[in-house]
Structure 1
Amino acid sequence: MMQEKDVYGIVLAAGKGTRMKSKLYKVLHPVCGKAMVLHVMDSLEEAGVSHLVTVVGHGSDAVKDLLADRTDYCFQEEQLGTAHAVKMAKDLLADKEGKTIVICGDTPLIRPETLKALLAHHDETLAKATILTSLEENPTGYGRIIRDEEGSVQKIVEEKDATDEERLVKEVNSGTYVFDNRSLFKALEEVKNDNAQGEYYLPDVVAILKSWGEVVSAYPMEDVREGLGVNDRLALSKATRFMQERINQEHMLNGVTMIDPTTTFIDAGVKIGADTLIEGQVTIKGQTVIGEDCTITSGSRLIDATIGNGVTVTQSVIESARMADGSNIGPFGRLRPQADIGENVHIGNFVEVKKATIKKDSKVGHLTYIGDATVGERVNVGCGTIFVNYNGKDKFHTTVGDDCFIGCDTSLVAPVNLGDGAFTAAGSVITKDVPADGLAIARNRQSNKENYAKKLPHRR
């Protein structure tokens, strides 16, 4: 049996994707937060492919930027069919011994386990080519797999060329193959374009190998959805729905409770600990990591967030921010990038935190903005407090020590520092440092005008 170093992969990614009607290169359209071609690459690598070649076309710089050095590249200047695309890899692979998987970059649902099973079947049958197939209830539009009485593959017949009897066959070509590498490139030299489209088709390689007396086999995938190719926005939505179902099932099997998985949207790559509960209408994106025993309620949106254990997020938005163990936020809280919330910190309703550290056991109850700040331990921040960090040109930092009490409607005009245990009176505008254990009062003294209200127009 061949070693992993003998397994190659050719990813077909040169298609313009005109049916997507998009400025974005087709294989870069995301499915659950990850470009389709990245899903394909990940599956190939997990299946043991050690050398990848990606066939790209015009406007492919964005694909190269994304995939970087994970793959070699070859360029297909004219779109002359799948066999022509594979032939572009000749200079990179034609002299190699081993097996080559050929797969389209717009098939994000194929699992690495399926590719491993395909490779194993290829070896077991001693085939020169093995076709990944699916059993479709409605095979209209697909190439049919025609087998003989012993079950051996005889040919692939496109629907337009099939007889009435062949059209009844439900086993169809998925467009993913394994080939003996040398045999593949030898057969590609024999492929002709004498068809209505004037293109060179990869399934013709199968017919050529059969004419040489070689064994061609087929492996039906267990889940037909894995073979879905994305050519338009409708197929993209289907692929996203199927991938989302797969992601949610994996999390639930790992101990996460989801109240309504059909309205829980989680990107590929998100990590969630056991005994965390997620309600419906929740979106979790990017590289978010959520610990154990958390509760994420309806209406919450987490993007690249780091959430500790025992955290409660109630109808809030967290982006590129961190919440430590036992902390909580919401409802209607917002953590913006570089917000760092310590252990057992309470972030209440209508509180926004940006580029600020709030240390353990502090409380920010409601209607407050904290930006560009360091807030110590056991601090109470009163309602309506504003950390005034921006003068229209530059941002400035505020430091609040441990055990401070910030009175309601205080404005802390940065740069300013409050020592440990300092207090501010409600309604103060603090522009100077406050010493430890000091009380800062920065507001006009109240004066009362006797009987003045009777003179007001609405009282007459």
Structure 2
Amino acid sequence: MNPSSRGPERLEGVTAIILAAGVGSRMQSQVPKVLHHLLGRPMAGWVVAAASEAFAATSVVVLSPATAGLAELLGGSASVAEQPKPLGTADAVRCALAALPASAKELLIACGDTPLITAALMREVVVARRETNAPIALAAFDADDPTGYGRVIESSDGSAECVVEERDASEEQRAIGTVNAGLYAVDRAWLVDALGSITPSKASGELYLTELIAAAHAAGTPAPIVYGPEIELEGVNDRHQFANVAAALRERINEGHLDRGVALIDPTTAWIDVQVQIAADAVIEPGVTLLGGTSIGARTRVGSGSRIEATSIGEDCIVRSSAIEGSSIASHVDVGPFAHIRPGCTIAANCHVGNFAELKATSLAAGAKVGHHSYLGDTEVGERANIGAGTITANYNGVQKHKTIIGADAFTGVGTLIVAPAGIGIGAKTGAGTVVLADIPDGCTAVGVPARIIREA
């Protein structure tokens, strides 16, 4: 699933309204459900992305005070409107109308908790309304368990007569398996007039969009029904459904990478965010997690257990069971196993970062090698330098951090401790266990605690 690979042309003249004001108490979370992240996007962001693929116009997302944080997460991909109080779906749409441009004549109304919905289904509902010239069309699905859903009552011609909420349904109506999906295409002018005729529910006092279906039928312009797959249209209401949806999205994304020539050894265990870019012939081993704006170059192999976030990795690299965050790695680099490259690192071509090495805000010039069990923080390492096992740059003195510079072709012995801002010059060397408190000049060799020069350049 690649968001840049669009199918049919986007429909003109349609604006999506996405309802994302609900908290979702059945998630048992302090975070509103539409803000929960699924493979690189908040839940409602998947619905916004589908609408962006389906329609040329910018969507409007309806938020409540509880879900206001979604606006920042969407990053300007949609306009927002606020529903100050939870007065029902019809009230939410009414709140959205004020945020719509005058040019918006057709509307697509969708729920923000249906992250598996596709652009194709959205377009299909709009086309069904256009072809029948009905003021409204709706999507429905045949539920394995219809409990909690409004039941769609069909007329003899296959159009919708009404939608009956479960609490208002008779036993016979509750036995109906066709349920309302909360996805509608509607004529804006008709909607504005029809909203005024909706009366509050006696049970909750809320205003429900489902009343529009009965109104259209009563006026002799019944709503056509578009049947969609349950997996696309079923809302996420609890943690079980959330996990199922996450697995389905993972499958979509991974199938896209397979189609583009990526070798996913076990797609069922690779978790890859939607933003991640992977070149053909890269190899992703089982149990890998790739997050955020990560990119993986051709023929690079990412080993089992690796977790890579917001990092670019070049071609022909090997990453073995390591964690990498917010960094840039050039081509022909090998990392790990069990290395940790923290944010702000830049690794040039032909470098080696060994097992249990940790780097933070550090740059390695071409050909540099960092041996195992080392920590380099706020460090600049020159070309071909060899950092021996257990080398540590002590970058923090308890008050502020300082940078360490290690020159090209330098060599640090096992267990060297460099106390910043002291550094090691070009071609300089330290012996095992050396504690560097002052700069080691170019070409010199130092040993001891504290370091003393035993060989001049």
Distance 1:336 1:125, change over 3 A: same
Alignment-mate amino acid for residue 351 of structure 2 = V
After TM superposition, list the pairs within 5 Å mapping 1:192-341 onto structure 2.
192-221=199-228, 223-341=229-347
Residue number in structure 2 paired with 1:10: 17
Contact 2:353 2:369 in 1 (8 A): yes
Moved more, 5-14 or 152-161: 152-161
Distance 1:334 1:93, change over 3 A: closer
Residue 381 of structure 2 corresponds to residue 367 of structure 1: no
Distance 1:400 1:166, change over 3 A: same
Contact 1:102 1:177 in 2 (8 A): yes
Contact 1:96 1:182 in 2 (8 A): no
Residue number in structure 1 paired with 2:448: 442
TM-score scaled to structure 1, two decimals?
0.89
Secondary structure of 1:117's partner? helix
Alignment-mate amino acid for residue 193 of structure 2 = K
Contact 1:7 1:51 in 2 (8 A): no
Contact 2:201 2:208 in 1 (8 A): no
1:135 shift after superposition = 3.1
Residue 203 of structure 2 corresponds to residue 190 of structure 1: no
1:100 shift after superposition = 0.4
Moved more, 281-290 or 175-184: 281-290
Distance 1:210 1:148, change over 3 A: closer
How many angstroms apart in 2 are the aligned matches of 1:198 and 1:106? 23
Larger Rg: 1
Residue 98 of structure 2 corresponds to residue 91 of structure 1: yes
Alignment-mate amino acid for residue 154 of structure 2 = R
Aligned length: 443
Residue 73 of structure 2 corresponds to residue 66 of structure 1: yes
Contact 1:310 1:326 in 2 (8 A): yes
Deviations 1:402-432 (A, max 9, x none): 2222222212222133332222222222223
Contact 1:135 1:171 in 2 (8 A): yes
How many angstroms apart in 2 are the aligned matches of 1:174 and 1:59? 24
TM-score scaled to structure 2, two decimals?
0.89
Deviations 1:255-291 (A, max 9, x none): 2222222222222211111112222222221221111
Residue number in structure 1 paired with 2:149: 142
RMSD: 2.5
Contact 1:97 1:182 in 2 (8 A): no
Residue number in structure 2 paired with 1:344: 350
1:165 shift after superposition = 6.1
Point out where structure 2 has 5 or more consecutive residues left out of the alignment: 1-9, 452-457
How many angstroms apart in 1 are the aligned matches of 2:104 and 2:375? 63
How many angstroms apart in 2 are the aligned matches of 1:444 and 1:71? 60
Alignment-mate amino acid for residue 341 of structure 1 = I
Distance 1:83 1:125, change over 3 A: same
Moved more, 23-32 or 336-345: 23-32
Contact 1:257 1:277 in 2 (8 A): yes
How many angstroms apart in 2 are the aligned matches of 1:287 and 1:218? 39
How many angstroms apart in 1 are the aligned matches of 2:306 and 2:264? 14
How many angstroms apart in 1 are the aligned matches of 2:199 and 2:154? 24
Of 24, 30, 35, the residue aligned with 1:23 is 30
After TM superposition, list the pairs within 5 Å mapping 1:37-52 onto structure 2.
37-52=44-59
Residue 128 of structure 2 corresponds to residue 121 of structure 1: yes
Contact 2:162 2:213 in 1 (8 A): yes
Residue number in structure 1 paired with 2:399: 393
Alignment-mate amino acid for residue 400 of structure 2 = D
Distance 1:209 1:49, change over 3 A: farther
Alignment-mate amino acid for residue 297 of structure 2 = G
Residue number in structure 1 paired with 2:384: 378
How many angstroms apart in 1 are the aligned matches of 2:70 and 2:180? 27
How many angstroms apart in 2 are the aligned matches of 1:97 and 1:17? 30
Contact 1:344 1:362 in 2 (8 A): yes
Distance 1:50 1:397, change over 3 A: same
How many angstroms apart in 2 are the aligned matches of 1:310 and 1:434? 35
Contact 1:94 1:181 in 2 (8 A): no
Distance 1:224 1:405, change over 3 A: same
Secondary structure of 1:86's partner? helix
Deviations 1:231-270 (A, max 9, x none): 2222222221221222222222222222222222222211
Distance 1:67 1:260, change over 3 A: closer
Residue 71 of structure 2 corresponds to residue 77 of structure 1: no
Residue 139 of structure 2 corresponds to residue 132 of structure 1: yes
Identical-residue share of aligned pairs (%): 38
Moved more, 312-321 or 65-74: 65-74
1:43 shift after superposition = 1.5
